[in-house]
Amino acid sequence: MSLIEYTEYLVKNLVSDPDMIKVKDFDTEEGLIIEVLVNESDMPSVIGKGGKVANSIKTLIQTKAFLSGIKNVKINIDSF
């Protein structure tokens, strides 16, 4: 499972409308950037109270990236 598929899997299981999730990746000089776009109504489910869910998602993605040999990964979660 690729890093993008893993990210989609994590986020789709948290939201009420999984078909509205968009995950994109960008290679930059500083490393890989993964952008997660969710519906505005699903943002509370993805962010969680005090950002705990978002931090957990970021930790899981960074762990998967490290095990895949990718050193620098940044995750941006935004709504549309």
- Comparing CA positions, the residue from 52, 55, 56, 57 lying closest to residue 21 is 57
**Hey, which residues does 35 pair with through a beta bridge?**
24, 76
Question: 21 phi and psi, to 5 degrees?
Answer: -85, 135
Give the pLDDT confidence of 3-31 residue by residue, as tens digits. Answer: 999 999 999 999 999 999 999 999 999 89
pLDDT for 77 equals 96
- Comparing CA positions, the residue from 48, 52, 20 lying closest to residue 36 is 20
Predicted structure pTM score: 0.89
pLDDT for 3 equals 94
- Comparing CA positions, the residue from 74, 51, 45 lying closest to residue 61 is 74
How is the chain split into domains, by residue range?
3-79
Tell me what percent of the residues of the chain surpass a pLDDT of 90.
Answer: 94
Give domain 3-79's CATH architecture: 2-Layer Sandwich (3.30)
